[in-house]
Amino acid sequence: MAIEKCLTILKIIMKKNAFAPYVLTFLVLFLFCCTKKDEVRIPDNPSTDVDNTISDDDNADSLVVENPILVDSVVLNRLSIGLLQGDTYKLQISIDYEGVTPPEVTWTTTDAAVASVDADGVISALKAGSTTITATAGDKQAQCAVTVVANGESVYRHGYSELSADDKAIYNYMLRQILAFESNAATYSDICHRIYLDFASQGMTVDQNKVMKLTNLIIKDVPEVYMLVNYIYRYDNDKNQYYLRAKSSCTPESYAAEMTQINAACDAICNSVTASMSEFEKAKIIHDGFIDWADYGGVSNANSGDITGSFITKCAVCEGFARAYLLLCQRVNLKCVYVVGSLRTKTEPETWGNHAWNLTQVDGVWYLVDITGDGSFPNQCGWNYFLRGSDWFSASYKYESTGGGNENIGAVAYITLPIVSASDYVWERP
């Protein structure tokens, strides 16, 4: 049996060891010395695989030849990805290893409430937030940062609420493509990343006006899509597809990192909100919390009009403030709308400037909330512009911009705006 052991070990060595010829010489000499006791039997097919465990017939002792799996690297097809709540996405994994059988892969998530992952690497987006998916094989790991954005069925989105079922499906498809954007500016020698919209593959029929309208509604409804340049589409004649543009300065990886900070800020501001609270209490907590969080300013900053300015650099203008309040309302399940227009800044002479604010519903009634007006001064929180009725604000607020157009309602905007209460919300205003 000693000879059979040697032959078996020899086959393994010749398959895996670069020094097999030298070892072969030694074993031949050893076998020659053993021929008086054992018959040398050469297997019919030396190239076939053998069992890793070799033992004598009498089980007096056993020799186990280990076949360890050495993992050199683990790579995922995405380092980061944005997903719409309720969707799933299967990560593709590539493992470089040494061994006969593939190594076992373990999948984990840092926040199972935001997104779970199964044994096959399928991510399920559960609620708005950020999490990290980790794939482990041997002693190597790869990670994917996941950003989940709420869908229009779980939070109130005014533009989405006005759409037909077919247009809602197109809206959701476009939002999925936007969130899952990739860095491809260099591929197309472009100054922006392209987000292609293959409507034909989805069985969807659109025209240019619909693409522009739905993109504009997504920008108004979803503060998290700040990576978009604007709502103006482009068309690729070679692909016969529309595409949107994402800022080249925003990569999927930087977007995931920023959204992790933004989600953490939202959690901090909304931390004291409970399900049992009244809508007024929720609206006031996030109003006061955001004013404590950020200051008005940064007009010259590129991000002053979006939620990165509001939550990360903590310095933004009215657009950034209004988008931040919209996001916070969505996090605590309050109905809120982002609107733009103009504000009277002087009475003598009468002067108007472009402005952005919110309409928020409390106890079934809509009111104006201008968080910029209440938070324009550092370390001061006011309530003069909180839950106001049209009798109070109509003299100083217009839905038309200084250029005369109403950007809230039209062919590529909302169909209507909520009707605001004439009177203010009744509470003991400080």
The domain of 392 spans 271-398
**277 and 368 fall within a common domain:** yes
**171 and 53 fall within a common domain:** no
Residues of the chain with pLDDT > 90: what percent? 75
* Packing angle, helices 252-270 and 318-331, rounded to 10: 70
**279 and 394 fall within a common domain:** yes
Would residue 36 be called left, alpha or beta, if left means φ above 0 and alpha means ψ between -120 and 50 degrees? alpha
Residue 355 lies in a domain: yes
Residue 188 lies in a domain: yes
340-345, long-range: CB < 8 A, 24+ apart: 340/399, 340/401, 340/407, 340/408, 341/397, 341/398, 341/399, 341/400, 341/401, 341/406, 341/407, 341/408, 342/397, 342/398, 342/400, 342/401, 342/402, 343/396, 343/397, 343/398, 344/395, 344/396, 344/397
Average pLDDT of the residues in 83-110:
95
Q: Which residue has the tokens 């999948």?
A: 107
The answer to whether residue 119 scores a pLDDT higher than 80 is yes
CB of 242 closer than 8 Å to CB of 346: no
CATH of the domain at 96: 2.60.40.10
- Confidence band for 36, pLDDT divided at 50, 70 and 90: very low
**144 and 230 fall within a common domain:** no
pLDDT digits (tens, 9 = 90+) for 299-336: 878 889 999 999 999 999 999 999 999 999 999 999 99
Sheet containing 234-236: order of strands: 192-197, 241-247, 234-236
Q: Which of 247, 262, 297 is the last residue of a domain?
A: 247
Sheet containing 386-388: order of strands: 386-388, 365-369, 350-362, 336-347, 397-398
CATH of the domain at 303: 3.10.620.30
**277 and 394 fall within a common domain:** yes
pLDDT digits (tens, 9 = 90+) for 242-272: 999 999 999 999 999 999 999 999 999 999 9
**275 and 394 fall within a common domain:** yes
The answer to whether residue 361 scores a pLDDT higher than 80 is yes
Q: Which of 64, 83, 108 is the last residue of a domain?
A: 64
The answer to whether residue 60 scores a pLDDT higher than 80 is no
pLDDT digits (tens, 9 = 90+) for 170-226: 999 999 999 999 999 888 888 899 999 999 999 999 999 999 999 999 999 999 999
**294 and 314 fall within a common domain:** yes
**164 and 144 fall within a common domain:** no
Residue 261 lies in a domain: no
**347 and 311 fall within a common domain:** yes
**Dihedral (C-alpha) 77, 81, 84, 90: value to the nearest 10 degrees?**
20
pLDDT digits (tens, 9 = 90+) for 274-304: 999 999 999 999 999 999 999 998 887 888 9
Is 42 strand, coil or helix?
coil
Q: Which of 64, 90, 110 is the last residue of a domain?
A: 64
pLDDT at 57: 46
**368 and 280 fall within a common domain:** yes
